Chains A and B, each alone.
Chain A
Amino acid sequence: MDEPQVVKIIVVGESYAGKTSLLQQYCFNEFDHNHSATIGCDFTLKWITKNGTKLKLQIWDVAGQERFQNLSKMFIRQAKGCLIMCDITNKKSLEAALSWRNVVKDIADEVPIFLIQNKTDLLQGEREEYQTEEYLNQFAQQHNFTRSYQISVKLNDKVDLIFYELVESMIEKGVIKLEESIIKSSFVIKNDNNDRNKAKKKECC
């Protein structure tokens, strides 16, 4: 009756981008300095309330190692949203994000895919071109990512935001439906737009 809707989210991206750390931070508010690679796949749960509806986020942490990719594909099925992580200190990881995007698009075409550049805390001095927000946004737009963000898992910067926005985006794309939203859909949509504009403004600042 009151069983919350399960929303499957997958986090993929190149090895060493901080996928496991992101989940640890988001779900348990922990940052582990141990750098252990992930075997296969793991998931954590997080309950959130969205517009009065309870959602159970089932967040899958998919190993970045190439050899687990076949296995990873199985976890991408039925996903409602996807975060593709890369490392801001590693230009190649953006390249890898594209191949992950292709993998995800092949299996789950309609879902929102966010491009996340992690480890902004490691940047010192002047940023290289690919490290700027403008570049990332343009890159994301060009390659059909739904949105893009620069975050720091370590400093817990924008971690909650990206999950919040991802759920918004899922509602917007119609991949998940909130019970209330069926009844007062027009109202919710209006609300959503406002929220998104706010979020956009926040990004720009």
Chain B
Amino acid sequence: MQQQKCYVIPGLLNAGLLNGNQPIYIFILNQIQDMKEVSLKMNSYLQTVNAFHPYTWVICNQQTLQLEISEVKQFLNQFCKNIPLQQFQRIDKLIIISDTIQLQQLINVIPSAWSTILTNKIHLVLRLNQLINHNIELTQYQVEFLSRINNTYQEEIPFYGRDISEYPLANTGVPECLEAILQYYDRHDDYLKKQGVFRISGSVQQEQKLIQQFQIRNYSVIDDYDPDVVSTVFKNLLCQLKKPIFPFEMYDILKETQINTSKEKLLEMFQVFFAYMPEVNRKTTKRIAELLFHVADYESENLMGLNNLSIVFAPCFLRPEQTNLSDLQGAKIVVHHFNLLVQNVEFFLQEFRINRNSIPQKVQHLI
């Protein structure tokens, strides 16, 4: 199975598939805006893409939308008009994905010109993931694409370990899931006073449940979870990012610096790093640094001063591309420098204010 090219017409899936030499065309009926346009496009593909090989058609609707027999009928009639019989004779399979349509209904709506050709070629499939029974295997990229259009297809990309830019963004410029977590702490300031906050990890099962909800962008459930579970998700989300918030190069540079490097020099370095970081990384850093600064205010209660918090959070922001023993020393230096960064978050804030529009952004509440 290999990827062929992307299709651009709405309704004709832009994840071109090849099963051996056999092209597979997937139609999302409810997305088709112009049936005629799609059928003409289809015709031109049939003439140019593997023109002498059999092909497969898959017809479906987006999930939650029932696929009605009348829609299928309309689709087939239009295609019958625009696709010459000789092209159509090459069809190997016509697969319909629907849990409401009966096979007999389907046979009844086949245009008479096509009925003899389609004998034994019509297949009814209840769900997208049953396509595998027809030897249609999907690549990671295609699965991703399809899972976005069809929620019954469950194989999603893992929640942890993506690039930060792959998470949907809130209008504050930080990823929605992080925004939900930060707002959670805004609402529950008392949790931040708890002894060992951010240091104690939560239940692994609960953590899994919460990230499942986050996967489907359901953030309102966060209030039902134990603060230690939320903080575990928070930390794991950050430290398992495909690329850390501060790029790997930055760690390599920082770990070589002396622990007694002057504050001015370090801040200058951070400033340069900041300038080269993507905006989402900068905004995320800023928001989290503010939170940590605030949490450290409760040190007498939570026993988590800035130093302790830095030990916990520095590896969330800075880590080497490959771990080896030399990182032990590196980790200590980096914790020290990260501490300094958090302490001086105000310094960077000013930079942001200059760069930003003077109109304050309205915070969108996710819950």
**A residues lining the B interface (CB < 8 Å):** 14-16, 35-41, 65-68, 70-71, 74, 90, 92, 95-96, 99
Contacts and interface: CB of A to CB of B under 8 A. Distances in A.
Contacts of B327: 40, 71
Given A16-B200, A39-B311, A66 B332 contact: no
Contacts of A95: 203-205
Contacts of B315: 65, 67-68
B215 interface: no
Given A35-B196, A39-B311, A40-B331, A67 B202 contact: no
A67 B327 CA distance: 12
Contacts of B60: none
A67 B328 contact: no
Contacts of B312: 37, 65
B319 interface: yes
A40 B328 contact: yes
Contacts of B323: 70-71, 74
A68 B308 CA distance: 15
A35 B328 contact: no
Given A36-B308, A39-B332, A15 B228 contact: no
Given A14-B201, A35-B303, A74-B323, 9 more contacts: A15-B196, A35-B196, A40-B327, A40-B328, A65-B315, A66-B201, A66-B232, A67-B239, A92-B228
B202 A92 contact: yes
B311 A65 contact: yes
Contacts of A96: 201, 204
B334 to A, nearest CB: 9
Contacts of A67: 235, 239, 315-316, 319
A15 B307 contact: no
Contacts of B331: 39-40, 68, 71
A41 B328 contact: yes
A106 to B, nearest CB: 16
A68 B323 CA distance: 10
Contact of A37 (B195, B199, B332): B199
A26 B108 CA distance: 83
B308 A37 contact: yes
8 contacts: A16-B199, A36-B307, A37-B308, A39-B328, A65-B311, A66-B235, A67-B235, A67-B316
Nearest to B206: A92
Among all A-B residue pairs, the 9 with the closest Cβ atoms: A67-B315, A37-B311, A40-B328, A35-B303, A70-B323, A67-B239, A92-B203, A16-B196, A40-B331
Contacts, number: 66
A16 to B, nearest CB: 5
**Taking chain B's interface residues, is the majority helix, strand, or loop, or is none over half, making it mixed?**
helix
B322 to A, nearest CB: 10
Which of B196, B205, B324, B335 gathers the greatest number of chain A CB atoms within 10 Å?
B196
Contacts of B205: 95
Contacts of B303: 35
A14 B203 CA distance: 11
A129 to B, nearest CB: 17
Contacts of A99: 204
Interface in B301-325: 303, 307-308, 311-312, 315-316, 319, 323-325
A182 to B, nearest CB: 33
A61 to B, nearest CB: 12
A40 B332 contact: yes
B183 interface: no
B295 to A, nearest CB: 14
Contact of B201 (A38, A40, A74, A92): A92
B236 interface: yes
Contacts of A41: 328
A163 B347 CA distance: 49
A141 to B, nearest CB: 22
A115 B196 CA distance: 22
A99 to B, nearest CB: 7
Contacts of B319: 67
B181 to A, nearest CB: 16
Nearest to B304: A35
Nearest to B324: A74
A15 B335 CA distance: 17
A96 B203 CA distance: 8
Nearest to B334: A39
A39 B327 CA distance: 10
A66 B236 CA distance: 8
Contacts of A70: 323
A70 B325 CA distance: 10
Interface string B220-258: 000000001000100110010000000000000000000
A197 to B, nearest CB: 38
Interface in B270-329: 303, 307-308, 311-312, 315-316, 319, 323-325, 327-328
